[in-house]
Structure 1
Amino acid sequence: MNVADLAAENLTRATAAGLDPHEYQRVTAELTSADGWGQAFTRAARRHLVRAEQAASPISAGEHYQAAARWFHIATLGPYTDRAPAETQAAAEADAAMRRALEILEPGARRVDGPAFAGWLRGPADAPATVVVVPGLDSGKEEFHAVTSALLRRGLAVFTMDGPGQGSLAATTTVRPDYHQVIGQVVDALGVGRVGLVGLSLGGYYVAQSAAHDPRVAAAATVSGPFRLDWDAFPPPLRNILTRRAGGTRAARDFADRVDLSAPAPRIACPLLVVDGGQDDISGVTCGEPLARLAPRGEYLLVPYGDHLLGNAHADWLPAVADWMSEALGM
């Protein structure tokens, strides 16, 4: 993929993650090849670290640390080779920058780690319900701030996480099809009796699978989540990403072969909202409509012009999903 195509493909994802679109255009305009992606975005992130150190107020410093975390995260989306040190370093720096941002902006945020997960619990300590935000294949807890913020504004506590093969854990773990066990560990660690789940991209599969297995899941929403994967039909970039995150081609193929919600879907007893973008057409990925149809309490929201993760159409689904989750959890 040439650099112009890479920049265009990631534009809505990057801006939805909170990157300034004009700064994004300046950074990508300077690229001469896709191989320079990680370095360019890391440099942009470090410029925000410098601004944080020089900021005139704690709030400004916190905002720059938050911006740095997002730039470091998007730096991990470059065309790296298997477990490249630069990708690992960018993910670690994203994690560190987010920690510094929350220490300043939300000192009540609590870090919660487990054997296979890491993340931040935010929101009121006495919130009547908690929502776990689950990222996808090459996503991480620093990416979906808009989702987290929408839920926090509705009085919910929110745990944004990295799981196996994701974010800060990508260097030491690989993706696993039984991710529902990890979400079970999260619920145990949070000490709550019932939770809501929001899953983005492959996180949508993880969330639906968890809802089918764990009665503590009181409501679940998926955004651009796959119903089924077909390894043989994958485009090369997706095949490469999954191979890297799974730790090898055989493991990646085996993982893809196990992503199929045909059997779990009818067992999802809780309310389920499935969101798809009409322009989200990835070869080898079956969208979420069958999941909504097979789940006993499934609802389906299709945004015709939405792309993958619907970063180009937040107004068409994000407030609705946040309201739906709040109501489903009895807020």
Structure 2
Amino acid sequence: MEKERKKVVYEKSSPNTTIQKTLVTARLFEGFWDRWIAHGIKKSVTNLVNHEVKKVYDWVRFFNQFADHHFQQATRYEKHHQTQLAEEHFQLAGLYFNLIYWIFPDRFDEKVTWYKKSLEAFSKADENSRIKRILKTLKIDGKDCVGRVRVPSHPKGSIVIINPMDSSKEELYTYENHFVDLGFATFSFDGPGQGETFTINGLKANRNRWNQFMNKVITLAYETLPQIPVYLFGTSSGASWSIEASQHPYVRKAVAVSPPISNQNSVALPNYFQERMSYILEQDPQMLPETNDLSNCKPVLLVHGNQDVMVKDSDIYELYNRLPSGKKLIEYHHETHCCNGKLTEIREQSVRWFND
């Protein structure tokens, strides 16, 4: 008989306490920045945090100077019709604004204000992009889940990008850029509890809402471009949903990078992160999908970093053994959760695997 699993309970502290714990973690643990560096924040910038940032006001002031710098550069490039450089710098400005928005765990005025500045910068980037961006919405429990759709000429397939619970679609803009450059249409949405869907529209996450969300975004991808296959690419909690949603009849293949397993009892989540989750989850903290029956999954490419302290090697091997035929496992010995140092390579390998 399977032993009883302990439920993860996310206890809510005061927002100021959560922010302070986040700041301390950012200053003490270099690995905290791996995610943001992978998405475009300069390591030379994060190296200055210890000296420059003590309180939330410092965080806002410090990162805002880089956001403003890139926004001003982008504006100059735009005036001189250097659209590619304008797009790149508007996106970087949006990423730095996004980092400011992210520090606030709940829907404070500050969080909303900085998120809107991030949206503005990305909107300006889209105006300068050679690939048109289309905004779409999906209704879940009467509220909008907002997403970005980009379609290059003669796309080889549609990739639904499933973001980690604590990330917005804007933070992972490099995934969009890369997949579009590789010839794929992209569908990147903020699900329940994420980005615009949570911050602006107030929709929190639970397992049922995420089931609805995944069904709707996959259906949208298929109906938008019915002549090409639909693929899934998810990281962290998004990877767990990539595996679950690979059972959808419209999906051809799925990639899952560092998927936490819903029934494991030893997920080593940092304390500040657990507190952040308490603000975006609706009552039941179990927002990951059930993974009891995977027999109907389409071919899944699993990617795992052997230094991951959240998802153990044994968890990944057990998961891999339960997946049906067509599966593949890639391991990176020196990588941690989400394999941030190898994401460019992983996206390229994913596309080759999609094309096989």
TM-score range for the pair, normalised by the shorter chain length: 0.7 to 0.9
Tell me the matched-pair count: 318
Which of 74, 77, 88 is the equivalent residue of 1:52? 74
Query: How far apart in 1 are the matches of 2:259 and 2:62?
Result: 30
Over aligned residues, Cα RMSD in angstroms?
2.8
Greater C-alpha radius of gyration:
2
- Identity over aligned pairs, percent: 20
Gaps in structure 1 of 5+ consecutive residues: none
Which of 83, 101, 104 is the equivalent residue of 2:107? 83
| SS of aligned partner of 2:212 | helix
1:177 matches 2:207: yes
Query: How far apart in 2 are the matches of 1:28 and 1:141?
Result: 28
Counterpart AA for 2:127: E
Shift in Å, 1:286: 8.4
Q: 217-226 or 40-49, which moves further after superposition? A: 40-49
Which of 13, 26, 29 is the equivalent residue of 1:6? 26
Q: Aligned in 2, Cα 1:156/1:217: closer, same or farther, shift over 3 Å? A: same
Counterpart AA for 2:53: L
Shift in Å, 1:34: 5.8
Which of 287, 291, 296 is the equivalent residue of 1:267? 296
Normalising by structure 2, report the TM-score: 0.79
Query: How far apart in 1 are the matches of 2:117 and 2:216?
Result: 25
**Equivalent residue number for residue 92 of structure 1:** 116
CA contact (8 A) 2:218 2:251 kept: no
Query: How far apart in 1 are the matches of 2:239 and 2:280?
Result: 17
Q: Aligned in 2, Cα 1:133/1:244: closer, same or farther, shift over 3 Å? A: same
| SS of aligned partner of 2:196 | helix
**Equivalent residue number for residue 188 of structure 1:** 219
1:319 matches 2:348: yes
**Equivalent residue number for residue 122 of structure 1:** 150
**Equivalent residue number for residue 225 of structure 1:** 259
Residue by residue over 1:44-87, the C-alpha shift from the partner in whole angstroms, topping out at 9 and shown as x without a partner, is: 22332222223343333222111111112222342x34333322
- The list of structure 1 runs, each at least 4 consecutive aligned residues, that deviate by more than 6 angstroms after superposition, is 283-286
Which of 307, 310, 315 is the equivalent residue of 2:336? 307
Q: Aligned in 2, Cα 1:316/1:100: closer, same or farther, shift over 3 Å? A: closer
Q: Aligned in 2, Cα 1:154/1:139: closer, same or farther, shift over 3 Å? A: same
| SS of aligned partner of 1:131 | strand
Counterpart AA for 1:136: P
| SS of aligned partner of 1:68 | helix
Shift in Å, 1:281: 0.6
Which of 61, 70, 90 is the equivalent residue of 2:95? 70
Q: 299-308 or 40-49, which moves further after superposition? A: 40-49
Gaps in structure 2 of 5+ consecutive residues: 1-20
1:209 matches 2:239: no
Q: Aligned in 2, Cα 1:101/1:312: closer, same or farther, shift over 3 Å? A: same
CA contact (8 A) 2:198 2:204 kept: yes
Q: Aligned in 2, Cα 1:50/1:32: closer, same or farther, shift over 3 Å? A: same
Shift in Å, 1:39: 4.5
Q: Aligned in 2, Cα 1:100/1:309: closer, same or farther, shift over 3 Å? A: same
